[in-house]
Structure 1
Amino acid sequence: MTVETENGDLIGQQGERKSLNTPALVLDKAAMERNIARMAAFAADKGLALRPHAKTHKSIDIARLQLNAGARGICCAKLGEAEALAAAGTVPSILITSPVVSAPAIARLASLHEEIEEVMVVVDHPENVRALAAAFAADKPLDVLIDIDPGIHRTGVASPDAAVALAREIAAHPSLCLRGVQFYCGLHQHIQSYAERRAAIVERTGYLRGIVDQLTETGFAPDIISGGGTGTHEIDAELGLFTELQVGSYVFMDNEYGECELFGDAENFEAALFVDARIVSCNTPGMATVDAGFKALSTDGGKPVVTAGAPDGSAFIFMGDEHGGLVAADHAFEHGAAVTLQVPHCDPTVNLHDAYHVVDGDTLIDIWPVTARGRSR
C-alpha cells in the first residue's frame, strides 16, 4: 500500500536510499520477510498457532505478509489499532490484548465485532465482564479471554481463585463466550541470558499450568492459551502449554532483543528496522550532529547503534528533540553524509513515524503507511 511522501520520487532509483529526506524510518524488506518465514516455520513445526502482535509494526502491509505466511490472526494492544487495521484490509481474527473498559470504547468494540470475522478481547474484572455483556447479544456473543497477571501487576487476575470466579461470571452471561486465557510475561522477554530466561519462564509456566488445571477441573477448560513473545517463544514451545504465540518484535529485531541470547543454539533473527539520519553539523573534531533525536527514536530502550555512515564503534548520544550526536575520536565526519541507526525499541519508535521506507539494499522500493500510528485508545 504505497503512500505519497516527499521521498516518493526516489522509489525505484537504484542506490538512492542515500538521498532520503531524513530522518526516515527504513525497513529492510528481505530481512523482515526472512524473519516472518522463520517464525512461521517454527510455529508450524511445533503445532502452534501464530498470532503476531501488531503493536510492533502497526502496519496492514506487514500484517498481510504475516497472515499470508500462515498466521491465524493478529494481536492488537489497543482497540484503536484493531479498528485501523481492520479498516485498511481483510484481517480474519483480532485479539485485543488490553481490557476495553470505557462506555465509548465498548460501543466501538461492538461495531468492530460486526465488521470482522472474529474479534476477541481480554478481561480481568467482573465489572468489565458485566459491562461487555450488556453491550452484546446472545445470538452473536463476544469471545473473551481471561487475562492472567504473570506477576508484574499491570493487568490480569491475581490468583487461580480469581480466574475461576471470573470464569463463572462470564458463564453467567449468554452474550459472552469464554475462549481461554492470556498470559504474557513481558518483563521476562529481555532477560539476556538464555539459561536465566528459561529458568524464569519454567517457573511462571508452572504457575499458569496450575491455573489452567483449576479452570479445567471446574468446567472451564480453555481452548486457547495465548501468550509468549519473541524473547521466550522457543522456551514456551518446549514447555508445551500455549496453543498460540503472540510474538511481535521478531519481524524487526531492535537493540533490546539484539542484546539477548534468544536461542540456546541458533542465531538471532535479523535486524530489519532502522532510522536513516543525516549529518547536519560537524564543526567539532571527532563529533557530528545528525537530524534524529527524541522525535525520531524511542529512548526507553537505550541508545541506537550506528550501523553505517560512521566508523565502527561510533557512539550515539541524544542531543535533544531534533538532534543526536556521533562521537568517534580523531574521525573527520563528512558534512551531509547519510547515517543508519538500528533502533533501540521498535514499537514506540515506529509510532513516531508516518511511513516505512521499504528498501532492497540501497534502493527504495516502496513506501508503506504506519497504518495504526497513534491509535492508542
Structure 2
Amino acid sequence: MEDCMFEALDDVLLDGRTKGLPGTEGALALGAVGAQGWNLLAGDVPLPAAVLKASAIANNQAWMGRIISHYGVSLAPHGKTTMAPQLFRHQIASGCWGITLSTLHQVRVARHYGISRIIIANQVLDPGFLAYLVAERRRDPDFECVHLIDSPEGIAAILAARPDAERPLDVLIEVGPMGGRTGCRTIEEALSLAREIANHPDAMRLRGIEGYEGNMSGSGQADIEARIAAFLDYMVETAEAVGEAGLFAPGEVLLTAGGSAYFDMVAKTLGAAKLEAPSRVVLRSGCYISHDSGMYARLIDRSEARSPELVPAGHPRAALEVWATVQSRPEPGLVLLNVGKRDLSYDSHLPRVTGHVPRGEARVNPVGADHEIFALNDQHAYLRCPEDGPMRPGDRVTLGISHPCTTFDKWDVLLVCDDDYRVTGAVKTFF
C-alpha cells in the first residue's frame, strides 16, 4: 500500500461513528486508515464520502510554489479552508511561510499541532484570546504571531491584556475599502493608529499593513478588478505613508492580502511598494491546496487571462470530490442521490456530476453536461438527466464541488486516495 503523503496525528482515534468510514471493531488510529486496503471503486467505503486525491494536492502545491517563486512573495494559506493540521504541516514543509487563522479555536488547534508562525486575520478584542496569545508568547519563544488592528479599541484591548515587555504583541494595521468589510478607510486614520501604537512599544509593535480584496463587488468582472486595483494602490500608499513617518517597528515590514482569486494582482502591486525597510509580501490564498470544480476553477482561468505570466506555472486540479449513491430514479429524467446540504458546498454553485460508476463495475465513466444537479435537500440531491440515461439505483457518482471551504467543514475525516481510488490515508479536520 502506498504511504499517505500526510503524516498521521498520533492522538486521533476513529471508529464506526465517524462519517464516511466503514464500521470497525474498536478504535482505529488515524494513521492506520491507509493499511485497511479500502478502495472506493470496490465499494469498501459507505457513501457519501469525501475524498482528497493525493496527486492533485501534490500538483496544486507545486503550482503555487512556482507562482510565489515567480513573484518573489511568501504564502501563509488561510487555514480556515481545511482546518486540517495535517495539511497545515504539509504546507509548511512544502515551503509556506506560515498559516493564517481567524479565531481562538483555530489558533489553539494549530498550536497544538506545532504551527509556530501564524497570521490572525482579525482584530482581536476578546480578553481571553489576547490572554492566550500573551501566555503562548511567554511559554514559547519560537512562537511568531501577528494580528490586526483597525481601531483605538484594538489598542486598548492589547493594553488591558498586559503583554510582556520582552515580547510585545505584533500587529498589522488593517485597511479596507469604503463599503467593504473591516479596516481603516483613510490613510489619516491608519496614521493615527500607527502613532498611538508607537506610544506603547512595551505592549505592541507595528509590523505592517494588511487588507483583503476578495470580497469586492462591482457591476461586472472588469469593474471588480478595477476596484481591487484601486484598493491595492491604497494599501501601498498607506504603507508608504506609515514608513515615511517612521512608525513601523524595526525589522521586516509585512504587506499581506491575497485570497485565492486575485493573488496575482496582490503580488504585483504590493511587491512594488517603496519602503526604506526590507519588506515581505505575504499572500493568504487558502483554497489552492484543494482547488475546486466551480467558482475557483473559473477565477483561476480568469487570472491566467489577466496575468499571462501565470500560464507557465501550470494549472491547479480539483483534489476534493464527494462520492454518492443513486438512491432513486422515481420518474423519467430525474435521479435522487443520497447526498445533500449536510455533505456539500452550495453557497457558491451547486455540485457538478463528474463521473458515474455503474453498479458492479470498478471504473469511473465520464458524464456529460446533460447531467445536472439542480436542487439539494439536507440529505438528497436532485439530478436532472436524459430520460434514457444510464444511472440506476445502486450506482455511484462522483461530484465536483464549488468553494471548498464549505465542504471541508461538513466532514470530520476525509479519505486520501490515489488515482485508482485506493485509500492511502485520511485527513482529520477540526471545525
Whose Rg is larger?
Answer: 2
Other-structure match for 2:297: 258
Q: 2:347 aligns with which of 297, 300, 309?
A: 300
Measured at CA, do residues 285 and 318 of structure 1 come closer, stay the same or move farther in structure 2, by a change above 3 Å? Answer: same
In 2: Cα distance, 1:64 partner to 1:321 partner: 33
- 1:262/1:268 contact within 8 Å kept: no
Q: Say which SS state the counterpart of residue 298 (structure 1) adopts.
A: coil
> 1:278-357 alignment to 2 at 5 Å?
278-309=325-356, 311-313=367-369, 314-330=371-387, 331-357=389-415
1:98-137 paired onto structure 2 within 5 Å: 98-113=122-137, 114-115=139-140, 117-135=143-161, 136-137=163-164
The answer to whether residue 60 in structure 2 is matched with residue 4 in structure 1 is no
C-alpha contact 1:190 1:256 (8 A) present in aligned 2: no
Does 2:304 align with 1:274?
no
**1:202: how far off?**
2.5
In structure 2, do the counterparts of structure 1 residues 65 and 152 end up closer, same or farther at CA, with 3 Å as the change threshold?
Answer: farther
Equivalent position amino acid for 2:384 in 1: V
Q: In the alignment, which residue of structure 1 is the partner of 2:203?
A: 175
Q: CA 1:298 to 1:51, structure 2 compared with 1: closer, same or farther past 3 Å?
A: same
Whole-angstrom distance in 1 between the partners of 2:181 and 2:259: 17
Q: Which runs of no fewer than 5 residues in structure 2 stay unpaired?
A: 1-7, 25-32, 274-279, 357-365
Change (3 A) 1:5 1:214: same
Q: Does 1:187 align with 2:245?
A: no
What SS does the aligned partner of 2:171 have?
Answer: strand
Q: State how far apart, in whole Å, the 1-side matches of 2:176 and 2:229 are.
A: 16
Match status 1:156 vs 2:183? yes
The answer on whether the counterparts of 2:348 and 2:402 sit within 8 Å (CA) in structure 1 is yes
- Greater mean alpha carbon deviation, residues 109-118 or residues 39-48: 109-118
**Deviations 1:21-67 (CA, angstroms, capped at 9, x unpaired):** 22222111111111112212221232212211111111111111111
Q: Which amino acid aligns with 2:424?
A: I
Change (3 A) 1:202 1:154: closer
User: What secondary structure sits across from 1:33 in the alignment?
Assistant: helix
Instruction: Report the counterpart of residue 220 of structure 1 in structure 2.
Output: 247
Pick from 9, 17, 23 the counterpart of residue 48 of structure 2: 23
- 1:365 partnered with 2:424: yes
| CA displacement at 1:131 relative to structure 2 | 1.2
Percent identical? 26
Aligned residues of 2:325 and 2:337 also touching (Cα < 8 A): yes
SS at match of 2:406: helix
TM-aligned CA deviation for residue 346 of structure 1:
0.9
Deviates more, 1:166-175 or 1:146-155: 146-155
1:226-273 per-position Cα deviation (integer Å, ceiling 9, x unaligned): 111221122222332461111111111121111222213326421111
Per-residue Cα deviation, 1:330-372 (whole angstroms, up to 9, x for no partner): 11422122211111211122111101111112111111101x3
State how 1:136-147 maps to structure 2 within 5 Å: 136-147=163-174
Distance change in 2, residues 1:18/1:108 (3 Å): farther
Q: Counterparts of 1:42 and 1:98 in 2: how far apart (Å)?
A: 26
Q: Structure 2 CA distance, aligned partners of 1:24 and 1:205?
A: 40
Question: 5+ residue gaps in structure 1?
Answer: none
Q: 1:321 to 1:346 in 2, by over 3 A?
A: same
1:152: Cα distance to partner? 4.3
TM-score normalised by length of structure 1: 0.90
Structure 1 consecutive aligned stretches of length 4 or more whose deviation exceeds 6 Å: 189-192
The answer to whether the 8 Å contact 1:96/1:121 transfers is yes
- Residue 247 of structure 1: aligned partner: 285
Q: Whole-Å Cα distance in 1 between the matches of residues 210 and 424 of structure 2?
A: 38
Q: Distance in 2 between matches of 1:119 and 1:192?
A: 37
Q: Is 1:96 aligned to residue 154 of structure 2? A: no
> In 2, Cα distance between the equivalents of 1:138 and 1:70?
31
Q: Distance in 2 between matches of 1:343 and 1:111?
A: 40
Q: How many residues align?
A: 370
Query: Structure 2: how far apart are the matches of 1:4 and 1:369?
Result: 10
Choose 27-36 or 283-292, whichever is displaced more: 283-292
The separation in 2 between residues aligned to 1:134 and 1:85, in whole angstroms, is 25
